Amino acid sequence: MLRHLTSRLCNDLITGTVTSPTSGTFVCAETDWVKANDYFNKYIEVFCYAGHDDTVGTSGNPTNWDGTGGGTYTLTFLPATTLTASDSVEMHHTYTVDEFNDYINLAIDMVAKETLLHKIDETITLKTNVYKYDFSTQFLWIQDIRMEDVGRGVSELDGDISAGATSLDVTAGEGALFPSTGTFPIKINSEYISCTSRSTDTLTVVGAQRGSTAAAHSSGAIVTLLGSYPNDAPIDPRYWRVVQKSTMVVEFVKNLWSPTNDRNIRLTGLASPSQLDTDTEESPLNPAYITYQAAALLHQSRIRGDDVDSEFHRAQMTLCQAMADKTRGTMGVSVGGAKAVIEA
């Protein structure tokens, strides 16, 4: 977890497992917690980061640590909440969980336009005479747009199938025209069908996709593979643009290119890394950069003047920032010949 990496770097983390919880107290006798009476009283937060669904996210302010020994070490905190035995908790003495999370996300935002991620969007289904389409992937740059091909896998139905059939056979020996793994779309007559697996010439399917209607099909009907995007045939970039409005929109030039009804398109491009909303999310960015940059920002937030404490944080900020900058220098991504998204 990035917060734990960052808080360790700041020498501001102790973790433990809850036992014998009551309202506003729990016992923890793990080695790192075996401290003298009142040792944790000045810690600013205890936070439940894993365990029972009802208690994860619980935060409190430590008010008393009973470290009298005898195998019983009890923490009291406010506001009083009852945790669950075996919950995992963390404690901090300098920064809060919210501060760690906020500065981790700020570190991510600081490189949002230089450490770009390769993204693909295949959610758009074209319709005749429709030239604008909304989609959700937050691209900054578009490398190309391709329309799916229908000529890479074509066979015939071997045997009749009823509406809603869950499997079908293609002509003997032609199953190899279709992928052997993964889910892929096919089309029979006007029905779009999702194939979830293939065994030799038998396809396992779910019908009525892309807004089509489940139907019976006769032996000999053409079975067409969709979902393949030819490498040699991107749509000319002069024929389209991508605009960021309230949503992302791809717009085609009406007089230069016409959409083919019910074909999907694939947008390939570069997008910024997203902020983290939960502890279970992971960032694709180098964790060394994130932790060093967040730590530098955290130390900077504690510089108040020329006192001893401020000088300590200033020195730590300088060290962490130098490491963050060194790592950041290896993270840039070239946009090449990609086309920029227009901000409207």
- CA-to-CA dists, residue 235 to 123, 138, 185, 268, angstroms: 17, 20, 21, 12
Whether residue 127 is found in the same domain as residue 263: yes
Kindly state whether residue 167 falls inside one of the protein's structural domains.
yes
Kindly state whether residue 334 falls inside one of the protein's structural domains.
no
What's the domain count of the chain? 4
Kindly state whether residue 342 falls inside one of the protein's structural domains.
no
Per-residue confidence in pLDDT tens, the chain, 344 aa: 999 999 999 999 999 999 999 999 999 878 888 888 999 999 999 999 999 999 999 999 999 999 876 667 899 999 999 999 999 999 999 999 999 999 999 999 999 989 999 999 989 999 999 999 999 999 999 999 999 887 667 899 999 999 999 999 999 999 998 988 889 899 999 999 999 999 999 999 999 998 899 999 999 999 998 877 877 789 999 999 999 988 999 999 999 999 998 888 999 999 999 999 999 899 999 999 999 999 999 999 999 989 999 999 999 999 999 999 999 999 988 898 999 999 98
Kindly state whether residue 337 falls inside one of the protein's structural domains.
no
Whether residue 30 is found in the same domain as residue 163: no
Kindly state whether residue 295 falls inside one of the protein's structural domains.
yes
Kindly state whether residue 140 falls inside one of the protein's structural domains.
yes
Name the DSSP letter for residue 184.
Answer: E
Whether residue 139 is found in the same domain as residue 161: no
pLDDT digits 0-9 by tens, 207-237: 999 889 999 999 999 999 887 787 778 999 9
**Domain residues for 8?**
2-94
Whether residue 251 is found in the same domain as residue 289: no
Kindly state whether residue 158 falls inside one of the protein's structural domains.
yes
- Closest CA relative to residue 263, chosen from 140, 114, 147, 172: 147
- Let me know the angle formed at the C-alpha of 94 by 90 and 99, rounded to the nearest 5 degrees: 75
Alpha-carbon gap, residue 294 to 277, rounded angstroms: 16
Element spanning 146, H or E: strand 139-147
- CA-to-CA dists, residue 148 to 125, 153, 205, 259, 264, angstroms: 10, 12, 20, 11, 6
